[in-house]
């Protein structure tokens, strides 16, 4: 169905019904869905917490900084490789069976890795953990679209949004708990095991048993898979290590980005032409999907400045440990447990235009960035509270309406495809966001340091060589250059948020979804599709 056809169907209230074809939602199925949500949280924490305590892990294991930096890259490689294919394999091998296999693999590796001391083996296990964990997040969206009735569908999308708004932001506090409270770096890996065991029990008991669809294996685009896996992996390597190795000045980064781009382009071409692809790229021709996912990538780039940037700045300026900055993550993360569903409830109102909620959320994010750009060298946690509250409000007001607008132009059989596409963009944007923030900070830091050094050189002529103030000149310049660079990063992403507002308003209008309590005279639009069982 073309984009114009979807627009006409929405206006006439004739979009295909997205009522789930599986079991009616009851306590047992709801428990299974809770297990899927907890497993997705495990995946997010598996990614963030070890990365936050990477310096402690390097010290405990005796790795050099350059060697240890590959641990985060290895996980990101596995995570991105799993994202576009997880929904297809879940539909093929049975959702419940595939989910339990991925979750048990991730937990087993979390228990094992603290005992591994050999770098290359640890990198391999970390990549495998990323692969297992990365498959869990698309299955959360797949389950929300497959099992939830229309009256709860948007709340299910709000729960999926927690993987971008809750897990990354509370990870700072959990890293603090492992390193400063429990005083044992191994809990950076082990902290997910209790949650994961509960999730496994809920999934095993709650999700319905479905038959496998093994004949799909003969129809799959295996050539595309062979091209896509190394292509996506090399792109992640290039993006994640680019700042450290100075991008195209490094033969490794140049080769990774060049070969990765070529292989990924060939993968996309195979998927476009194949009759049974893993992800249906033709869906991107629909305005809300193509334009919406482009906005999604940029939105997640903006979200990268919410907690990580101020925590890093406080560490550099004030010498703060994570424990002293953990409050910032909790301010943004904890309210998401409620705010996402509040936004979803608002989107069910017939008088609400999701694009306007989205635009208001972008305005909050732009204001948060502008507030952060006022940073000085005297800022502590208290000065960041105002911007973080604005982030807290803006993130659910953007991500939940965006998911609604994206999934509203999808027919029921296309559910697994949209899950794979959305999560591919999500994982890629996380790596891209970290690279952009790091590169922009480095470039502006060098610029401001050079300007300040030039000014200091002019003033130096007035000071005698033995003046005690010479001792603090270098430290002061480094500190102020860091402050000015951080302000520039905030301004750049604030401007990006403001520029996205007219783009969002240009998305296709989708009326509120029809529910059992909605008057039948109102037009309806299905917000998403059921995934194939």
- Tens digit of each residue's pLDDT (9 = 90 or more) over 387-420: 999 999 999 999 999 999 998 888 767 778 888 8
Answer whether 76's CB lies under 8 Å from 240's CB: yes
What is the Cα–Cα distance from 31 to 280, expressed in whole angstroms?
A: 31
92-106, 289-303, 442-456: segment of lowest average pLDDT: 442-456
Does the pLDDT value for residue 519 go beyond 60? no
Q: Pseudo-torsion of CA 468, 471, 476, 479, nearest 10°?
A: -150
**Could you tell me which of 345, 340, 354 has the C-alpha nearest to residue 408?**
354
Using 50, 70 and 90 to split pLDDT, how confident is the model at 498? very high
CA angle centred on 374, ends 370 and 379, rounded to 5°: 130
Cβ of 136: how many Cβ atoms within 10 Å? Answer: 29
The pLDDT tens digits of the residues spanning 143-169 come to: 888 888 888 889 999 999 988 888 888
For the residues 205-230, what does the mean pLDDT come to?
A: 92
Per-residue pLDDT at 525: 40
Name which residue leads in pLDDT, 56 or 381.
Answer: 381
pLDDT at residue 515 in the model: 65
DSSP letter at 335? T
- Are 460 and 357 in contact, with CB atoms under 8 Å apart? no
**326 to each of 173, 186, 315, 339, 437, how far by Cα in Å?**
5, 19, 11, 20, 20
Please report the pLDDT score of residue 457 as a whole number: 65
pLDDT at 294 over 60: yes
Mean pLDDT for all residues in the chain: 85
Asked if the model's pLDDT at residue 38 lies above 70, the reply is yes
Give yes or no for residue 204 having a pLDDT over 80: yes
Res 522: pLDDT: 38
Return the pLDDT at 438.
87
pLDDT, one tens digit per residue, over 415-466 is 788 888 888 888 888 888 888 988 998 899 999 988 887 777 666 556 665 5
Query: Which CATH topology does 3-207+278-461+469-505 take?
Result: Growth Hormone; Chain: A; (1.20.1250)
Other beta carbons less than 10 A from residue 21's beta carbon: 12
C-beta separation of 336 from 396 below 8 A: yes
DSSP reduced 3-state for 171: helix
Q: How confident is the model at residue 529 (pLDDT cuts 50, 70, 90)?
A: very low
Given a cut of 60, whether residue 18 has pLDDT beyond it is no
DSSP string across 253-280: HHHHHHHHHHHHHHHHHHHHH-SS-SS-
Structure tokens that stand for 192 in this block: 């997910």
This prediction has a pTM of: 0.87
Percent above pLDDT 90 for the chain: 48
Q: Is the pLDDT of residue 170 over 60?
A: yes
Distance from C-alpha of 176 to C-alpha of 195, rounded to nearest angstrom: 18
Per-domain residue ranges for the chain?
3-207+278-461+469-505, 221-277
Q: Per-residue pLDDT tens for 108-144?
A: 999 999 998 898 999 999 999 999 999 999 999 888 8
* Nearest of 180, 234, 250, 265 to residue 431 by alpha carbon: 234
CB atoms within 10 A of CB 122: 22
Can you give the pLDDT at residue 319?
79
């Amino acid at each position: 169905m073309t984009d114009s056809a979807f627009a006409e169907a929405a206006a006439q209230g004739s979009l295909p019904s997205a009522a789930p074809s599986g079991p009616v939602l009851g306590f047992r199925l709801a428990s299974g869905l809770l297990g899927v949500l907890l497993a997705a949280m495990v995946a997010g924490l598996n990614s963030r917490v070890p990365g936050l305590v990477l310096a402690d892990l390097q010290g405990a294991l005796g790795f050099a900084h350059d060697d240890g930096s590959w641990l985060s890259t290895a996980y990101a490689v596995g995570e991105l490789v799993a994202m576009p294919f997880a929904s297809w394999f879940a539909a093929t091998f049975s959702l419940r069976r595939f989910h339990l296999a991925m979750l048990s693999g991730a937990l087993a590796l979390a228990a094992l890795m603290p005992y591994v001391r050999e770098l290359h083996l640890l990198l391999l296990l970390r990549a495998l953990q990323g692969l297992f964990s990365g498959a869990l997040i698309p299955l959360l969206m797949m389950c929300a679209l497959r099992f939830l009735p229309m009256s709860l569908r948007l709340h299910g999308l709000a729960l999926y949004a927690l993987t971008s708004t809750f897990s990354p932001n509370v990870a700072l506090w959990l890293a603090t708990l492992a390193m400063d409270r429990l005083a044992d770096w191994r809990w950076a890996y082990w902290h997910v095991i209790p949650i994961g065991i509960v999730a496994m029990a809920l999934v095993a008991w709650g999700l319905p048993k479905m038959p496998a669809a093994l004949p799909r294996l003969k129809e799959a685009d295996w050539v595309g898979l062979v091209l896509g896996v190394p292509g996506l992996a090399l792109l992640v390597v290039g993006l994640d290590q680019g700042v450290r190795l100075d991008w195209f000045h490094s033969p490794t980064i140049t080769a990774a980005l060049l070969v990765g781009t070529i292989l990924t382009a060939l993968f996309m071409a195979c998927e476009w032409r194949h009759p049974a692809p893993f992800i249906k790229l033709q869906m991107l021709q629909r305005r809300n999907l193509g334009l919406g996912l482009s906005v999604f990538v940029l939105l997640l780039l903006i979200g990268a400045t919410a907690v990580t940037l101020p925590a890093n700045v406080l560490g550099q300026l004030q010498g703060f440990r994570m424990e002293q900055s953990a409050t910032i993550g909790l301010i943004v993360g904890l309210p998401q447990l409620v705010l996402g569903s509040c936004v979803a409830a608002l989107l069910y109102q017939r008088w609400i235009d999701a694009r306007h909620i989205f635009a208001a959320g972008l305005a909050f994010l732009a204001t948060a960035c502008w507030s952060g750009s006022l940073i000085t060298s005297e800022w502590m946690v208290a000065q960041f509270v105002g911007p973080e509250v604005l982030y807290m409000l803006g993130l659910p007001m953007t991500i939940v309406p965006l998911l609604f607008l994206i999934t509203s132009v999808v027919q029921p059989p296309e559910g697994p495809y949209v899950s794979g596409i959305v999560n591919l963009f999500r994982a890629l944007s996380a790596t891209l966001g970290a690279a952009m923030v790091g590169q922009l900070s480095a470039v502006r830091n060098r610029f401001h340091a050079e300007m300040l050094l030039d000014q200091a050189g002019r003033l130096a002529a007035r000071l005698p060589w033995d003046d005690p103030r010479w001792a603090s000149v270098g430290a002061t310049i480094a500190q102020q250059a860091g402050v000015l660079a951080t302000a520039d990063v905030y301004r750049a992403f604030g401007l990006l948020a403001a520029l996205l507002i007219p783009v969002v308003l240009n998305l296709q209008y989708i009326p509120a979804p029809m529910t059992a309590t909605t008057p039948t005279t109102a037009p309806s639009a299905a917000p998403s599709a059921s995934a194939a069982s």
